[in-house]
Chain A
């Protein structure tokens, strides 16, 4: 069997583990519940209430904005938490159950295991983002209908073009979460306690949000990946505005390079005593 096929088979097995686990299935339901909650809340709140700004303000005019609102809200905690949970399982979880030693004696070469674990984390993040988006579009469509979309800049584009931009947003957000997943993978090589890894990654992403919210620390903001996460909103202007997202992807790439290297340096030589 070719090396590529063998790696695909292991990746398939990883995804089977992730998706088949009850806890993760429950997590997917939670992610999907947020856009539904938003749609219901907007539908039944009195029009007298302020509608807020940005996507939320537009949500009652077009269902697509329910998905975008949900993505904005879940980026603060739920999506990073999902990445944190999966990274906790990746290496620390396998070490905790002892299955890591059996994977390595199969043998799965350590670098290969890290690469496949990382890809599975990114796919896991993609699944989370897609779930939020699709649930948002469905719930928004049911409550507020779908149609030509009036952008934040005031222009109108067709529904199909808007869905294309939503797909771009999904990819951008997944790329952002891939940066967090690299941090998560590294943290996961440091401990044999999946919960400890999960909490650490959640703290890191939350701390970044807090730092990003303190304007006195604006010199640090350009180096915080989360600073660029909400920039996917730029996709819903006319013309699309890419500067901030490009910057975001560059910073994310830097984080991936640093933390993937750290994870490798740590894991390749580590004594597996669990």
Chain B
């Protein structure tokens, strides 16, 4: 645990729906000023956790502190400082984008109606939705809806942004804009908790990481901390697959696997130079050799298990 003040801290946070453990005793630690990537497969409990942080769902057990105050006891003083996007955008379909923002602004006790217009315009501008502000929400594409939801989170100055899958449905251009937006918000000092399954996004923008699996937090810390737990991979590009595999096995490499272009294995602490020398010595036709730090995606799969099945 860090001693830096936390924007979000939970201890033993648990949510049970009937007999199902949706969230199972997690200790989140989102440091102030961090960009915290909240990862996990569908159904791993990310959204339920986020709903508990925001007071939408009551925890079965455990404690939550957001921006230093207990939740949900202090919902009305904490949430005005928190902007959120929970499980996708949701607006009134027959109102325009701008009218929807004005509606949310009207619901905010702390929002000054005299600056409403200026703030909604600024939020729309920031997410690049100004041109479509007058269009009915029902006519919006998924990407535009997502942008509007982010705009809603930015209506007031926020100390913490909780963004659940903010790039869902956005085109590559939009995804990059959201990434830039998160970076610029973070540089202004806003703490950002962003859940995503787009790992490359998280890797590029986050300083901290938490990984959920079946309701449990299986890894948490700075990006380097978490990544340090995973071992690099050696890849041999060759057509001489069988001989290469046997050389690697003799050297004591683990997890040997055949890839379309050659062989892959975990070298642990075996010197790469020794591996190459052994391969050449065994007259394996080596066309390429590399040691790769594991991508976040590999790490994610190793932590959460492979496969398309949602965790139940």
From A109, which residue of chain B is reached at the shortest CB distance? B76
Which chain B residues lie closer than 8 Å to A97 at the CB level? 90-93
A9 within 8 Å of B (CB atoms): yes
Which chain A residues lie closer than 8 Å to B93 at the CB level? 97
CA distance A182 to B285 in the complex (A): 81
A242 within 8 Å of B (CB atoms): no
Which chain A residues lie closer than 8 Å to B51 at the CB level? 101, 271-273
- Contact indicator B94/A1 (Cβ below 8 Å): no
Q: Which of A13, A103, A271 contacts B58 (CB 8 A)?
A: A271
Interface string of A21-38 (1 = CB under 8 A from B): 110000000000000000
- Contact indicator A106/B56 (Cβ below 8 Å): no
CA distance A105 to B156 in the complex (A): 13
Which chain A residues lie closer than 8 Å to B88 at the CB level? 98
Q: Which of A1, A108, A271 contacts B113 (CB 8 A)?
A: A1
CA distance A22 to B93 in the complex (A): 12
B104 within 8 Å of A (CB atoms): yes
B57 within 8 Å of A (CB atoms): yes
A148 within 8 Å of B (CB atoms): no
- Contact indicator B110/A1 (Cβ below 8 Å): yes
- Contact indicator A99/B91 (Cβ below 8 Å): yes
Q: How far is the CB of A144 from chain B (nearest CB, A)?
A: 39
Most buried by B among A10, A106, A271, A272: A106
Q: Total number of A-B contacts with CB less than 8 angstroms?
A: 84
- Contact indicator B110/A103 (Cβ below 8 Å): no
Contact status of A105 and B86, CB under 8 A, knowing A272-B57, A273-B57: yes
- Contact indicator A106/B92 (Cβ below 8 Å): no
Q: Which of B82, B94, B106, B110 contacts A105 (CB 8 A)?
A: B82
- Contact indicator B106/A13 (Cβ below 8 Å): yes
Interface residues of A in 228-268 (CB under 8 A from B): none
Residues of A in contact with B (beta carbons under 8 Å apart): 1, 3, 6, 9-10, 12-13, 16-17, 20-22, 97-99, 101-109, 269, 271-273
Residues of B in contact with A (beta carbons under 8 Å apart): 51, 54-58, 75-76, 79-80, 82, 84, 86-95, 102-104, 106-113, 152
19 A-B residue pairs with CB within 8 Å: A1-B109, A9-B106, A10-B107, A13-B102, A13-B107, A16-B103, A17-B92, A20-B95, A97-B93, A101-B87, A102-B152, A104-B55, A106-B80, A106-B104, A106-B108, A109-B76, A271-B56, A272-B51, A273-B57
Instruction: Give the 5 A-B CB pairs with smallest separation, nearest first.
Output: A98-B90, A13-B106, A107-B79, A272-B56, A6-B109
Known: A102-B84, A105-B54, A272-B57. 19 other contacts (CB 8 A): A1-B109, A3-B109, A10-B106, A10-B107, A13-B102, A98-B87, A98-B90, A101-B56, A101-B86, A102-B91, A104-B55, A105-B56, A105-B86, A106-B80, A106-B104, A106-B107, A107-B79, A107-B80, A109-B75
